[in-house]
Structure 1
Amino acid sequence: MKRTLYTIIFFIACVPLVKAQQRPQYTQYIFNNYLLNPALSGIENYTDVKAGYRSQWTGLEGAPVTGYLSINAPIGKNFIQGDATAFPASGGVNPSSRLYTQQYQAAEPHHGIGLTIVSDKTGPITQTNIDATYAYHLGLTERLNLAVGVSAGFSHNVLNTSQITTADPSDPIFNNLDNNQWKPDLGIGIWAYSSDYFIGVSAQQILPQNLYITSKTNAYQNKTVPHYFLTGGFKVFLSDDVTLIPSVLFKYIKPVPTTYDINMKLSFQDKLWIGGSYRHNDSYAALVGINLSSFVNLGYSYDFTTSALNTVSNGTHEIVIGILLNNRYKVSSAQHTF
């Protein structure tokens, strides 16, 4: 049964009209938009480290499993040593509060750098992306910043042929497999942000590459395609320290139909947040997060599958841990991201 499923997954991946994306998806994108947009490199004035693990469609053999590590930090003397929104050493005003928004000023112009390592395994296919990122942040007005970023690196693609069986072992398609490849990877992004709203546009995997099948007549059957993302969100103050943050993420991956996620996050001061998410024609999700200290925070989500896979899937688990290094202002939650 296991080999049969892997075979099905492999051949579906080779079909040009398959309704699936080639890069992993995340339920807690609001917790780490940096994974989707390199323009967020160095957006906070501390070194932001996050590690995540996602087990999709648990109970289904060969279902996607994703792990990642990301780190990014600002560069720039003015920003690191005290920008216009710097907190005092004790932590200062809760960045989710109405008072913080009233006092907000755009951050000083600065650079940001970072690194992402993402490994995604689906059946016999494992893809690992290693990308360095860079961004420049500029104040457009007294309260609005614009950041432009780029990511560049490599994608390592491995196909475990020992997990594939076919009715015809002499199938010629397997004579042209290159099952261990390194390919260049490139992405770009733009991010506009203020104290109470953000909007971003980004593209990943913008250099299409042929994978696995090296025959010129079959190359079109397994080719990477660009992934485009549009996201935005804003704050609604329910009280001085309770904030509702609606956000949306649109994904366009040709030839897949455009899809979207709708997310609602309810933040209680800078200590705790809960939320819910809807992914079009796929799932509903419950989310919760806690800022344990000025050094570590934690997020968890569970997806309830609504697609046809709900008959064989036990849902999706995703956990993210965040570390705030060099956090000289001792803030326990992000100042510039939501």
Structure 2
Amino acid sequence: MKKFLYLLLVFVFCIEVAGAQQRPQYTQYVFNNYLLNPAVTGIENYTDVKAGYRSQWTGLNGAPVTSYLTINAPLGSNFLQGDATAFPASGGENPSSRLYTQNYMAAEPHHGIGMTIVTDQTGPITQTNIDATYAYHLGLTDRVNLAVGVSAGVSHISLNTSEITTENPLDPAISNGNNSQWKPDLSIGVWMYSSTYYFGASIQQLLPQNLYFSTNNSYNQSKTVPQYFLTGGTKIFMTDDITLLPSFLIKVIEPTPVTFDINAKFSFRDKFWFGGSYRRNDSFGVLAGVNISSFINIGYSYDITTSGLNTVSNGTHEIVIGLLLNNRYKVTCPQHMF
């Protein structure tokens, strides 16, 4: 009976996470919006590489653990060699300054390409998404750009039955099924941006897929659902050196209630930043980051759980390391992903 109750709890937990969080969630999405929207591909004037690790609800056995690697870069000689947003060889004005925004001009039309690899493990279930991305950026006005993007690839989901103990070794919910599956994956997005604000909308999991491991009709009703994201952010100059950067993220995932994140961070020139976040009915977070050089930057966040899991969770840790390759203008912080 104890084994049955344990199995029931594991499956309820996995079903809850799979239903409401079929894709990983991120506190530091403001540091890498590329994870949520393919239209961000190639937005910066260098090759942007990021590696991230997130341990959610630490202390809870089987809680989600996410790791990822992303890379994207712009294409087009006009953008790379002489567009209006390019910095001189010395580095020029930092993107958080008033002077930079006053002199800002929209980027030349250009393409962007990239790739994302995201692995998310929750209990015995592991999902890995491998996607190639493409975006096209064009100027709406002399100070505003619009980008449209698409992400396409595959999703691999597997069930490690060795981590599950059942009362019946031939439990029909997991036996004689396909415990290692490949599915197609497709996402689209749009992104409008200037020197002082951005708005974006995207849809992930455009192709609904079956999400079960049994051939028994009593256990094969689960499916993936499209996930909708709407985000935006702006710059508010506090002083010549300090900038406030508020942002939001709204997530719509049927049939769960609409949820949202609210973030705000303070940036000191192009050296370091810190801030906080709130996720509805889930957590409060603190964030901090430092731009070590024109080659590397680091961000860290810690979430304090406010949901019913706070009695067993020690919070959530997330760290992101960014590399700025082919950074010919030696910028030390993103020009557009502020």
* TM bracket (short chain): over 0.9
Question: Cα 1:111–1:220, aligned 2, differ >3 Å: closer, same or farther?
Answer: same
CA gap of 1:218–1:79, structure 2 versus 1, over 3 A, is: farther
CA distance in 1, matches of 2:89, 2:62: 48
Provide TM-score, normalisation by structure 2. 0.95
Match of 2:115 in 1: 115
What residue number does 1:274 align with? 274
> CA offsets per residue over residues 303-328 of structure 1, 9 Å max, x none?
00111111111100000000000000
How many residues matched? 337
Alignment-derived partner of residue 71 in structure 1: 71
Residue 179 of structure 2 corresponds to: 179
The letter for the 1-side match of 2:11 is F
Do the aligned residues in 1 keep the contact of 2:4 with 2:166 (CA within 8 Å)? Answer: no
Q: Establish whether residue 165 from structure 1 lines up as the match of residue 137 from structure 2.
A: no
Q: 1:189 to 1:179 in 2, by over 3 A?
A: same
Tell me the C-alpha RMSD between the 2 structures.
Answer: 1.9
Is the contact made by 2:214 and 2:220 (CA closer than 8 Å) also made in structure 1?
no
For the residue of structure 1 that corresponds to 2:276, the secondary structure is strand
- TM-score between the two structures when normalised by the length of structure 1: 0.95
Contact 2:156/2:182, CA 8 A, preserved across alignment: yes
Q: In the alignment, what sits opposite 1:37?
A: 37
Unpaired runs of 5+ residues, structure 2, are none
Question: Are the equivalent residues in 1 in contact too, given 2:173–2:214 (CA < 8 A)?
Answer: no
Q: Where do 5+ consecutive residues of structure 1 fail to align? A: none
The 5 Å alignment of 1:102-141 reads 102-141=102-141
What SS is found at the alignment partner of 1:93?
coil
- Superposition map of 1:81-96 within 5 A: 81-96=81-96
Q: Is the 8 A contact 2:109 2:137 kept in 1?
A: yes
Q: Residue by residue, what CA displacement relative to the aligned partner does 1:139-196 show, whole Å, maximum 9, x if unpaired?
A: 0001100000000000010101111123444432233521100110000000000010
Quick one: which amino acid aligns to residue 120 of structure 2? D
In 1, distance between residues paired with 2:23 and 2:276?
Answer: 23
Q: Tell me by how many angstroms 1:90 deviates.
A: 1.0
Of all paired residues, the percent bearing the same amino acid is: 71
Structure 1 residues 230 and 121: CA distance shift in structure 2, 3 A: same
User: What letter matches 1:322 in structure 2?
Assistant: G
Aligned to 1:225: 225
* Higher mean C-alpha displacement, 66-75 vs 204-213: 204-213
Is it true that 1:8 corresponds to 2:9 in the alignment?
yes
Q: Could you tell me how far 1:8 is from its partner in structure 2?
A: 2.6
Q: Distance in 1 between matches of 2:63 and 2:237?
A: 40
